Structure 1
Amino acid sequence: MFKKCTEVRQWLSGFEGEWMFAGGWAIDLHIGEETRHHEDVEVAIFREDQQALYKTLKTWDLHIVEEKELKRWEGENLTLPVHEIHASSQEGHHFEILLNEQNRRRWQFRRDPSITFETSRMQLQSEQGYAYLNPEIVLLYKSTHTTEKDEQDFVHVFPYLNEHQKEWLKQALMHHQPEHPWLEALLY
């Protein structure tokens, strides 16, 4: 179980910054089992650690998503709106790194910086020892362009969210996506 997460941990073993699993893997790590097939692996780091990441992955083929196109990353400093790095190894391994914003020890939602979260609490630890992004933050990201797999993730993880997590997600959605259908479950 979580074999892919073990591989990623090996690839990032020399990375000196803080990192955590994001996306669907974070949801499954919170639940404690793999609930669906994952096409990709995403990890979250803070933007200020991008140079440490570049050094760690210097043998990998690195691309950024800029204006919906993949462009080679040569280590230049990445600023918003660029936030997504695709890494590919010569052995055929792939994963994505998502740059996250923080200010004064608070994570800031890239799409609306007024939505924040204490950085000291944004990362949880799975039973297997994997660091992962809090599921309520993951769901907030998934709320913008919600797909079928995002709906599955919400349904699977909802029973595993505590009241604090549900309340934070409810408040964030009311601010960011006030018409989102997940609010119906969160309001009751």
Structure 2
Amino acid sequence: MTPAPLPHDAWSAWHPAELACRLAGSARPWCVVGGWALDLWHGVETRPHEDLEFTILRDDFELFRTALSGLRFHAVGDGHVEPLAAQALPPAEIAQVWCEDVAARRWRVDMMLEDGTPDIWVYKRDASIRRLRSEMVWNSSDGIPYLAPEAILLFKAKYQREKDEADFALALQKLDTAQRRWLRAAIARAHPDHAWLDVL
């Protein structure tokens, strides 16, 4: 019997440490992204987080599905959340997969699929923006990998939500000269009229 669809707001996200524990031993690239990545950089939880996002290489989806056994996977796109069949891969146009804790009937983590390589990080909205993965993935004091803050802010620049503006204002105080320079160049390319350019 197919379970009833889970409401989109039924989130009880894991802490990044829980995700890291479940992915311990994985030899393939992954890292926390979104607001939690900034807080791993800050070393403190600066605000509540309604979800937890992490990214993997698209070609590694099957490996991570196995590592996260016990979860049910759903393709997310254009406001729709559709269950993936047990052995199905996400369609090429899907870059986001929500992971459902079937027993608890809660969403636990949001998996992003990226098209870079183990060595190169590629910005999904403009493939000309890329960097060595070793420069873009950092580790928290607890050893949790997360995407560098300047890359997180590049993603956030698209939305300009209240939380994104707050995240930017807090991060701006801590970004060094090289980080600011990279972020300014990337935003100028992706969002040439963005207000953040005036303060970077």
Shift of 1:161: 1.3
CA distance in 1, matches of 2:17, 2:24: 10
* Equivalent residue, structure 2, for 1:62: 73
Q: 1:115 aligns with which of 110, 126, 129?
A: 129
2:66 equivalent to 1:48:
no
**SS of residue in 2 equivalent to 1:112:** coil
2:77 equivalent to 1:77:
no
* Equivalent residue, structure 1, for 2:174: 160
CA contact 1:22–1:44 (8 Å) conserved in 2? yes
Mark the CA change 1:88 to 1:16 in structure 2 (over 3 Å): closer, same or farther: farther
CA distance in 1, matches of 2:25, 2:76: 24
CA distance in 1, matches of 2:84, 2:27: 20
* Equivalent residue, structure 2, for 1:30: 41
CA distance in 2, matches of 1:164, 1:105: 21
Code of the residue aligned with 1:147 in structure 2: it is R
Aligned length: 184
Q: CA offsets per residue over residues 89-138 of structure 1, 9 Å max, x none?
A: 12345110111221583221111111111112110111222111011111
**SS of residue in 1 equivalent to 2:173:** helix
Q: 2:139 aligns with which of 114, 125, 138?
A: 125
CA distance in 1, matches of 2:179, 2:58: 24
CA contact 1:35–1:156 (8 Å) conserved in 2? no
Shift of 1:59: 1.7
Mark the CA change 1:104 to 1:54 in structure 2 (over 3 Å): closer, same or farther: closer
* Equivalent residue, structure 2, for 1:177: 191
Shift of 1:173: 0.5
* Equivalent residue, structure 2, for 1:86: 98
CA contact 1:16–1:52 (8 Å) conserved in 2? no
Shift of 1:150: 0.7
CA contact 2:57–2:117 (8 Å) conserved in 1? no
CA distance in 2, matches of 1:104, 1:65: 24
Q: Percent sequence identity over matched residues?
A: 31
Mark the CA change 1:162 to 1:80 in structure 2 (over 3 Å): closer, same or farther: farther
* Equivalent residue, structure 2, for 1:95: 109
CA contact 1:64–1:85 (8 Å) conserved in 2? yes
